[in-house]
Structure 1
Amino acid sequence: MTNMTVTLSATLATNEDIERRRRAGARVLHLAFGEAGLPVHPALRDRLVAASGNNGYGPVAGASGLRDAAAGYWTRRGLPTDPDQVVSGPGSKSLLYGLLLALGGDVVLTVPSWVSYAAQAALVGSRPILVPPPVGEGGAPDPDRLVSAVLHARAQGRTVRSVVVTLPDNPTGRLATPGTIARLADVARELDLVIISDEIYRDLLHDPAPPYTSPAELAPERTVITTGLSKSLALGGWRIGVARLPDGAHDLRARLLAVASEIWSAPAAPVQEAATYAFTDPPELVERIERSRRLHGAVARAAHAAFTEIGASVPAPQGGFYLYPDLSHLRLGGSAEITRVLLDDHGIGVLPGHAFGDDPSAARVRVAVSLLYGETAEERQAALDSDDPLHLPWISAGLDHLSMGLKELSLVRRDASRERRQALMPTVCHG
């Protein structure tokens, strides 16, 4: 068992801290919480209400209608799926935890990666093996470095059984290239690893033109996909997710269902009814996701410009609503220090990179732009409907707050550097 102490999720803890500050009257720009920040589509709300009388437990794997709909969802995306391959749960987060329990052994994670992967690994007694992505990418470990890390771990007697990828990625907002995924599929076969592909942001690629490659296309016999509706349709509070298991993975399915039966019994029945409708890709929800994708991309690009303007190194976002800027050039400390300065001195709430497994001495932070869309349902709907959301007063004000705070931060660094240079100048004596 690992000795790692599991604490409250960094995202949830920071969200609560920022909300406390706001209630106390502080002006804080909330860029720390990965919530989609959009209203529920009326068609989904209507279906949830209509199903509210359904209060039975239902099958552990999920209602047959939901599994049929999820199978269709993946089939339309080029992955023919039988409903028996589908297991649903109260959010993809629960399914990921169940999978780690069912698979056992140690797991390879990309560094940086979503905060809950390593925490869940610790909860199941697994020691994560952290491997960075190829330069400029995110969400998938560098395949060649993965080979070295796994062989080294196994030489020490460790059992390594799985690798987790996120496509596109949280925290970097980047998408692993088809070449990286192809090489990863080959490596997973060579090392007999199960690939857990977290694809909850798949439908939120800012530009759908670049090729999207799921490991399940190239290594279908050893890839599990998880997804849900919390990001694409902003249903985080409804807690519903689905997993696509490899065809014929009867033992894994049985173990996952055994875990599910002891932890969550079955997903909430009314929510399953609404999710069944969502996974059929009805036109009004396809349009909603398209509008969401455009909004996320526009605001993420504007935030990206604010960071690059002060000289930060930040990969251009490709999906979801995240950025991962590196502010090390300011020399104001590591990720914890820069996060504290941004919040305390400039009213900008972000998450430190070390929460994602990154080097604490590097001043990298995770920025989520999705709570800039408005404080009310009316403002958030207006953001969705707008062809030019950056000029809506509340979004413009949030981006101005970010830009001004970053410029002030940069000036602090410049003034500090000037003071240090002056302190180091030799004293000139006149006599």
Structure 2
Amino acid sequence: MGTETAEGRAARGTRTGHGTTDCAEALMRRTDPEGHGPVRYGPPLPGQGLPVLPALGSVLAAAAGPADAEPCGGGPELLAAACGYWNRRGLPATADLVAAAPGAPALLLALTGALGGDVLVPRPCAAWWEPQARLLGRSVFHVATPAECGGVPDPYALLETVRRIRTEGGDPRLVVLSVADDPTATVAPPELVHETVEAAAGEGLHVVSDETWRDTLHRAHDTVLLSPAEMLPDRVTVLTDLAGPFLPQGWPAAVARFPDNEPGARLRSQVLDVLTVLGARVAEPVAAAAAYALGEPEAVTERLTAAVRLHADVARAAHRAVVGAGALARPPQAGRHLYVDLGPFRTALGAHGVGDAQDLEDFLTARLGMPAPGGHRFGDDLAALRVRLGTGPLLGTTDEERAECLTAPSPLELPHVQQALTLLGSTFDDLRDDAQRWESPR
């Protein structure tokens, strides 16, 4: 019997019920009612772990009088700020091609509903992508990614998956990808993005590019990030959740940029219809803070630069700790997280009762005292022992400790950061030692 490809398994396995996989269904059966199901426990974006920028707090407080909501899709000031943000990044935008919502999930839900059909996503992918499609009854198909990065499907795997879906009577219309990725913290090389976007266009797919993390590159001068919208402006909608670079997670705001053509205008109109039905409007105080942040005044850019540098330093230290112990992880290139494969410790983890990603999530969350969502939350195989670790929890437990990280010349030498990194390293070292004891004598 031949070996089935990963994309073949995706095309076969996800057309059950409303697009959920057999593994996901099994997971839902085994979880308790306390909120650890795939949808009820959707791990949020990796948090900043830092106090709110005072200038942002002042803007929000000043706009908090009426405490009203923006017009559906965003008010003039917020849309103008979003246009300026994208124009400075080489993506021309006008207010009639932009929309805002209280968080990227609402925008993706509206986009998925407007476009219809089946959805393709990379494996793994951001935890909030698949539930949007599942809620609408869409089938979701995970596509393998290349070895060097996550976030963007391998173009050949994408074509094969589209072929299989259509052979089985499906209707693929949308592919969601991220050039700067959650959960893998990698940045896709431009040549891969180009090949994948061309493959998607050749199959008539619309591309949603989640660019939430594009402004958090760890080595901005050494990393080339190319938006799919620069390559194929007629078929790409760009999505940015401002909780990535600018805002606290408790201030939900996101913006979308649509193609500058008739289908793009029609898609925006349909998205606004869905947002209106949902009542998904940004609160005016949050919109004021979002517009201020998108304008990128000096206070905002200085904080962003300092925060990115801090999280990059901590991410590199965490990466050294887990890889030094024998786990597997790609070097983090963006964001506030890293994605770790503990497959080399499977036997040792088995002795602790850990047999899959849910068990691993529970085990590491208890050991580390911080969230460690398993790879199954991101569409990865339940049997694979992978987790996403955030850097925010390693910055301290109080606002004072976290603020000190921003101003310290050597934040990794702060006692509370050292303590958190030591706990992380010792946890993985213990697993390495356990694994060595379980090895068969030569």
Shared fold per TM-score greater than 0.5: yes
Provide the residue aligned with 1:288 in structure 2: 303
Q: CA deviation at 1:189?
A: 1.7
Say which of 70, 87, 90 aligns to 2:102.
90
Corresponding residue for residue 21 of structure 1:
none
Q: Cα 1:239–1:344, aligned 2, differ >3 Å: closer, same or farther?
A: closer
Aligned partner of residue 378 in structure 1, secondary structure: helix
From 326, 338, 346, the counterpart of 2:360: 338
Equivalent position to 1:238, from 243, 251, 260: 251
**1:353 aligns to 2:375 (yes or no):** yes
* Helix, strand or coil at the partner of 1:88: strand
Q: Give 1:412's aligned amino acid.
A: D
Q: Of 210, 215, 224, which residue of structure 1 is paired with 2:228?
A: 215
Q: Which runs of 5 or more residues in structure 2 are unaligned? A: 1-16, 29-34, 350-354
Task: Give the direction of change, closer, same or farther, for the CA distance of 1:412–1:346 in structure 2 (3 Å limit).
Answer: farther
Report the alpha carbon displacement of residue 12 of structure 1 after superposing the two structures with TM: 7.2
Q: Counterpart amino acid of 1:324?
A: Y
Cross-structure match for 2:242: 229
1:134 equivalent in alignment to 2:146: yes
Deviates more, 1:312-321 or 1:366-375: 366-375
Report the CA distance shift for 1:407/1:91 in structure 2 as closer, same or farther (over 3 A): same
The structure 1 residue matched to 2:115, chosen from 80, 103, 123, is: 103
The answer as to 2:410 corresponding to 1:388 is yes
Q: State the distance in 2 between where 1:354 and 1:367 align.
A: 14
Shift of the 3–282 alpha-carbon distance from structure 1 to 2, 3 Å rule, reads: closer
Letter in 2 for 1:368: G
Sequence identity percentage: 36
Aligned to 2:326: 311
2:409 is aligned with 1:409: no
Is the aligned partner of 1:191 residue 2:203? yes
User: What's the CA shift string for 1:251-291, capped at 9, x where partnerless?
Assistant: 11111001000112421111111111111111111111000
Shift of 1:10: 5.2
Moved more, 106-115 or 408-417: 408-417
Is 1:399–2:412 an aligned residue pair?
Answer: no
What is the letter of the counterpart of residue 158 of structure 2? L
CA distance in 1, matches of 2:360, 2:36: 21
Q: Distance in 1 between matches of 2:398 and 2:271?
A: 39
* Alpha-carbon offset, residue 11 of structure 1: 9.2
CA distance 1:3–1:231, change in 2 (3 Å): closer
1:142-157 matches, within 5 Å, as 142-157=154-169
Shift in CA distance, 132/306, structure 1 to aligned 2, threshold 3 Å: same
In structure 1, runs of 5+ residues without a counterpart are 16-31, 426-431
Matched letter for residue 18 of structure 2: T
* Alpha carbons 1:167, 1:176 under 8 Å: kept: yes
Structure 2 CA distance for partners of 1:78 and 1:383, relative to 1, 3 Å: same
| Count of residues in Structure 1 that have an aligned counterpart in Structure 2 | 404
- Rounded to whole Å, the distance in 1 between the matches of 2:99 and 2:37 is 25
Deviation at 1:108, TM superposition (A): 0.7
State how far apart, in whole Å, the 2-side matches of 1:276 and 1:294 are: 24
Superposition deviation, residue 382 in structure 1: 1.2
2:181 matched to 1:169?
yes
Task: Determine if contact 1:40/1:233 at 8 Å carries over to the other structure.
Answer: no
Alignment partners' CA distance in 1, 2:70 and 2:289: 15
Cα pair distance change 1:277/1:362, threshold 3 Å: same
Q: Does the CA contact (< 8 Å) of 2:19 and 2:140 recur in 1?
A: no
Structure 1 CA distance, aligned partners of 2:165 and 2:179? 26
If asked which structure has higher relative contact order (CA below 8 Å, sep 6+), I would say 1
Residue 335 of structure 1: CA displacement?
A: 2.4
Deviation digits for residues 158-216 of structure 1, max 9, x if unmatched?
11111111231111100111001111221122111111111111110101022110000
In the TM superposition, 1:315-334 aligns within 5 A as: 315-331=330-346, 332=349, 333-334=355-356
Paired AA for residue 307 in structure 2: S
Residues 134 and 245 (structure 1), Cα distance of their counterparts in 2 relative to 1, 3 Å cut: same
For residues 41-77 of structure 1, the C-alpha deviation after alignment (integer angstroms, 9 at most, x for no partner) is 1111111111112344442121101100100000000
- After TM superposition, the runs of 4+ consecutive aligned structure 1 residues lying more than 4 A away are 5-12, 344-349
- TM-score, scaled relative to structure 2: 0.87
| Counterpart position of 1:46 | 58
Alpha carbons 1:35, 1:234 under 8 Å: kept: no
Q: Are the aligned partners of 2:74 and 2:101 in contact in 1 as well (CA < 8 Å)?
A: yes
Asked whether the equivalents of residues 47 and 336 of structure 2 are also in contact (C-alpha less than 8 Å), the reply is no
Structure 2 matches for 1:113-132, cutoff 5 A?
A: 113-132=125-144
- Structure 1 CA distance for aligned equivalents of residues 276 and 191 of structure 2: 38
Tell me whether 1:35 sits opposite 2:47 in the alignment: yes
Corresponding position of 2:78: 66
- Larger mean CA deviation between 121-130 and 337-346 belongs to 337-346
SS at match of 2:100: strand
* CA–CA separation in structure 2 for the residues paired with 1:92 and 1:334: 30
* AA aligned opposite 1:68: A
When residues 294 and 3 of structure 1 are mapped into structure 2, their CA distance, relative to the original with a 3 A threshold, is closer
- Aligned residues of 1:106 and 1:162 also touching (Cα < 8 A): yes
Mark the CA change 1:33 to 1:236 in structure 2 (over 3 Å): closer, same or farther. Answer: closer
Structure-2 change in CA distance of 1:338 and 1:295 (3 Å): same
Instruction: Identify the residue that residue 2 of structure 1 maps to in structure 2.
Output: 18
CA distance in 2, matches of 1:157, 1:219: 27
- Contact residue 206 and residue 319 of structure 1 kept, 8 A: yes
Aligned-partner Cα distance in 2 for 1:176–1:149: 20
Instruction: Quote how far apart the aligned CAs of 1:33 are.
Output: 6.9
Superposed displacement of residue 362, structure 1 = 2.0
Alpha-carbon offset, residue 345 of structure 1 = 5.5
Mapped to 2, the partners of 1:323 and 1:227 lie a distance apart of: 20
Report the secondary structure of 1:221's partner residue.
coil
* Partner SS, residue 319 of structure 1: coil
Aligned amino acid, residue 385 of structure 1: T
Q: The residue matched to 1:37 in structure 2 has which SS?
A: coil
